Amino acid sequence: MIFESIDTHIPILGEAKIDSPLKTNMASFQTKRFISDEDRVLINVETKYFNEFCKSNTTPPSFEQAGPREKIYFDPSKLRCAIATCGGLCPGLNDIIRSIVLELYHCYNVRTVYGIRHGLQGFVPSYGHTTIDLTLDVVSGIQDTGGSILGSSRGTQDITTIVDCIERMNIGILFMVGGDGTLMASKKIAEEINNRGLKVSIIGIPKTIDNDIFLVSRSFGFDTAVDVATDAIKGAHNEASAYPNGIALIKLMGRHSGFLAATAALAQPDSNFVMIPEVDINLYGDNGFLQALENRVTKRTHAVVIVAEGAGQSFFENEKKEYDESGNLKLKDIGIFLKEKITDWFEKKNIDISLKYIDPSYIIRSLPANANDSVFCGFLGRDAVHAGMAGKTKLLISFWNNHYVHIPMDASAGKRKQIDPEGRLWQSVLEATGQEAFFND
């Protein structure tokens, strides 16, 4: 990554002049717990990188640290907030909603929080979606339920229409929970609001099981997804090892980045092959995957294969391209493709196999968050509220270098984080699976 060119400035709606209610609402709250805009977190903490700036007498690039400010911009007694969840489902969505509502209600005395139904569609009158008043009773216990109590949707909506609705509802802070497409929409909404001279804060909370949002070390739901994926790997290994020449093929999420497949393979080291979008797949020939799979089955009588959903898309280059409602390219099913190729390969070799195909994707994404993700969502939700109340806007809450920070939407939206094939994560996968040895047989 090239960090020198990143603009880390966070826009503000105006000067924060109101004393934070945290001083009086929480008796144990000490002044030292407030965060200053001068509190920063270095983007790159590597010694060699840091020393280069020291030699040049310049300050290394850094992000603004997230957390409560001593002065806030909005008057809580007159503030209306809204929350929208967009895109695919993900463990932790309800935790995020609950965390935001509880922080607004208990710590800032904000009593009006709207839940926008079905993502961006909820702002468009023609859909007819009603809003939900997110009271304490409504959010009670929702962290134990998967999905999103607000629902979701995909597809682009007219930005002007969305901002018209925000203006009519007199919303002061809008919390947008979603992936890259949502961040791009949030950025455009913030720009339209600025063009109209409105005082509305747009705060993004990044959501993706793929863990591929740029400048976000970890996204909520990923830890839960790894947990459930490891259970799938355990079951796959049991299925494969129970039969002569047993092969288990597992397809996990990961459209453009293989973080889930790679991490799950390390968490449950029963897999023998892992395929990710960042590394090309060669099917045929002496050094191809199918021959390597045969070598593994011949030597050990069984094999477990993990493939990320976005791997091997080059095999479908000549097929017609299709797009979803949000304009994203629809991926071809690499899982079914590999299942057919594996079956055909062994049939031609007259080798009997027992092949099991497992796709737990929709089970994973609709489950409640595990304990680690639930705690993580709490931090993200609270820091989102702190940022919005301080009048900051056009930012997303990120976890970076073990700190919660403010990332400008301009710096992250439209970019993607991927596995470095030469980096430690992928090299560790190769070591744990030993898959290279079977390519070299």
User: Residue 142 to residues 135, 209, 249, 381: CA-CA distances in angstroms?
Assistant: 12, 20, 34, 14
Handedness of CA 236, 237, 238, 244 (dihedral sign): positive
- List b or e across 29-64, with b for residues whose CB sees 16 or more CB atoms inside 10 angstroms: beeeebbeeeebbbbbeeeeeeeeeeeeeeebbbbb
Measured CA to CA, the distance from residue 176 to residue 179 in angstroms comes to: 10
Cβ atoms within 10 Å of 78's Cβ, excluding its own: 10
Measured CA to CA, the distance from residue 221 to residue 229 in angstroms comes to: 12
Q: How far is CA 287 from the centre of its chain?
A: 35
Catalytic residue, chosen from 95, 180, 210, 223, is 210
Q: Name every residue whose Cβ is closer than 8 Å to that of residue 340 and which is 6 or more positions away in sequence.
A: none
Count CA within 13 A, CB hemisphere, residue 141: 1
Based on the residue annotation, tell me whether 352 is a catalytic residue of this protein. Answer: no
Cite the active site residues: 210
